[in-house]
Amino acid sequence: MQVISKKKGRQSVVFTEPPMVFSSASIVGDVEAKGPLGSRFDLILDDDTWGEKSWEKAESKMFERSVRLAAEKSKIDLNEIDCLLGGDLLNQIISASYAARTLKIPYFGLYGACSTMTESLLISGMLIDGGFREMAACTASSHFSTAERQYRFPLELGNQIPPTSQRTVTGAGCVIIGNANKCKDGFLFKSIRITAGTIGRIVDLGITDASNMGAAMAPAAADTISAHLQDMNRTVDDYDLIVTGDLGKFGSEMLFDLCKEKNVDISGKHADCGCLIYTADQDVNCGGSGCGCSAVTLASYYLERIENANYDRILFLATGALMSPSSSLQGESIPGIAHAVVMERSCCI
């Protein structure tokens, strides 16, 4: 038997039996709940330790509960989910691993920093369209308090932050996708398919300022958008919207310029989860960041917008900055990456 090629160009893939989105769930902190999407999130934590002894344990609980909640919302039994793919920003992705321990689902840990949500969706999509798995939970989480003390300073110090910085979203988002044959009445979504995707390459323009993630990630987003359009032989007009993960205000502006240099004008078609999740008066400088940012925005907002026919086809790219505090101290610049998935509305089965 010949393997049917689903490779498209250098970096992209197209699905022949596009996996469907079945369910989603989002859990966020109180700051995120005060933002424009506040009413759309499934669960809001008043206390960001969620009754646990540490923020790290709370983040892992968020990761785990987002999977359980996404399953519950579509009456999916956890045993039907035959793969869990995800990660977070913590050293050794402990939020994901400890959650996977409790969930007991076959598990692949991923590290793509803030790009984790689309890394997970893209790999899961391939495993499902390839016939290897039937249903996968794609999950990512981040937590303001765990990220601050790991990447920057103890919160107790009350350090000032520069104007280019972004606030790490306290949030976990889960999206359950699967083979269309598994679609059932009562599922939360019945009209969204992942039809294609583009695997990101690392792009690094030499940004060394770890408080300017947007600038570090924008070149990778521009590279992936450009590669996607070329591989797929499409233009920006083929999309209702191009959504980036968490470039924030500064990074989004940089993205427009970098795309224009490649003769791609996305300015009228672009949205960024990092710009969307907080209001201007929330004192978050350039917007939101963290694995959870694009995960909860997709899970709570964009999927519903596609299902309700506000959009027919979007290109969704979570973007990641892949440095560590050690690499920054050792004078390394910040490598960025962005993986893209195409989400389309198509008639339900």
Q: How far is CA 143 from CA 46, 175, 205, 282, 290, in A?
A: 13, 18, 27, 17, 8
User: Minimal distance in Å, beta carbon 285 to a second copy?
Assistant: 22
User: Minimal distance in Å, beta carbon 274 to a second copy?
Assistant: 19
User: Minimal distance in Å, beta carbon 79 to a second copy?
Assistant: 8
End-to-end CA distance of the chain: 29
Whose Cβ is closer to a second copy: residue 85's or residue 241's? 85
Cα(328)–Cα(46) distance, integer angstroms: 33
Nearest residue to 342 via CA among 3, 8, 4, 5: 8
User: Minimal distance in Å, beta carbon 20 to a second copy?
Assistant: 12
Whose Cβ is closer to a second copy: residue 15's or residue 301's? 15
Whose Cβ is closer to a second copy: residue 40's or residue 201's? 201
Q: How many CB atoms lie within 10 A of CB 31?
A: 20
**Residues forming the site for a second copy (CB under 8 A):** 1-7, 10-11, 13, 16-17, 53-54, 56-57, 82-83, 87, 90-94, 97-98, 100-101, 104-113, 119, 123, 126-134, 150, 179, 181, 199-204, 322-327, 330, 332, 335, 337, 339
Both tokens of 224, joined, read: 């992936």
Whose Cβ is closer to a second copy: residue 151's or residue 256's? 151
User: Minimal distance in Å, beta carbon 267 to a second copy?
Assistant: 27
Both tokens of 247, joined, read: 């470039």
Whose Cβ is closer to a second copy: residue 141's or residue 179's? 179
Who contacts 30 (Cβ-Cβ below 8 Å, separation ≥6)? 44, 45, 46, 48
